[in-house]
């Protein structure tokens, strides 16, 4: 009887010593990781990469900082500085540094600017004068659910960010 039990154990586990080991082999783990990696490579590009609320807010802050820098440069250098706003191409260009802020395709950019400023046609820009005044205007950026307006006061040249909730 004892001999039969030993033979049955030996048949169940062909390894020497008769111990049964459980667990995964390294090759099995590598195969599972490779399958997960392959699935991730297929699925992740299909996930839409929309601009988040925080990223839209950072665009508003970056735009306000660029406008404030142009205003400060106009005051310090005692020159007129023109910030170009190209709503069609979703870009804003600093008049002093040449730095450009580009907005992603899922962000709509609208500019409400003065058509005339300082006895000339202004349409696509916000001008800052050595006195601190400006032509003024509003740059609105939006994505579904949230929007921000960066407003430039024509009298003081001050820049403010106003959040808007969309329906």
Q: Which domains does the chain have, with CATH numbers?
A: 2-46 (no CATH), 53-165 (3.55.40.10)
Query: Strand, helix or coil at 162?
Result: strand
The most distant pair of C-alpha atoms in the chain lies apart, rounded to whole Å, by: 113
Task: Give the up-direction half-sphere exposure of residue 129: CA atoms within 13 A in the CB hemisphere.
Answer: 11
- The pLDDT > 90 percentage for the chain reads 60
DSSP state, 134?
A: B
pLDDT tops 80 at residue 13: no
Q: Please state the pTM of the whole predicted model.
A: 0.71
Both tokens of 85, joined, read 């706003």
Task: With CA atoms as reference, report the closest residue to 56 among 149, 126, 151.
Answer: 149
Task: Give the up-direction half-sphere exposure of residue 4: CA atoms within 13 A in the CB hemisphere.
Answer: 1
């Amino acid at each position: 009887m004892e001999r039969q039990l030993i033979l049955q154990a030996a048949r169940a586990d062909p390894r020497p010593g008769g111990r049964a080991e459980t667990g995964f082999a390294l090759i099995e783990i590598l195969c599972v990781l490779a399958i997960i990696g392959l699935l991730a490579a297929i699925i992740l590009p299909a996930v839409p990469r929309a601009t988040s609320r925080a990223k839209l807010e950072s665009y508003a802050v970056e735009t306000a900082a660029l406008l404030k820098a142009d205003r400060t440069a106009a005051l310090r250098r005692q020159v007129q500085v023109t910030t170009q706003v190209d709503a069609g191409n979703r870009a804003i260009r600093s008049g002093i540094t040449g730095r450009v802020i580009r907005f992603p395709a899922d962000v709509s950019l609208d500019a409400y600017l003065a058509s005339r400023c300082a006895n000339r046609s202004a349409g696509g820009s916000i001008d800052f004068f050595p006195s601190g005044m400006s032509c003024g205007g509003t740059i609105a950026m939006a994505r579904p659910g949230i929007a921000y307006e960066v407003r430039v006061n024509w009298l003081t040249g001050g820049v403010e960010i106003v959040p808007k909730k969309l329906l």
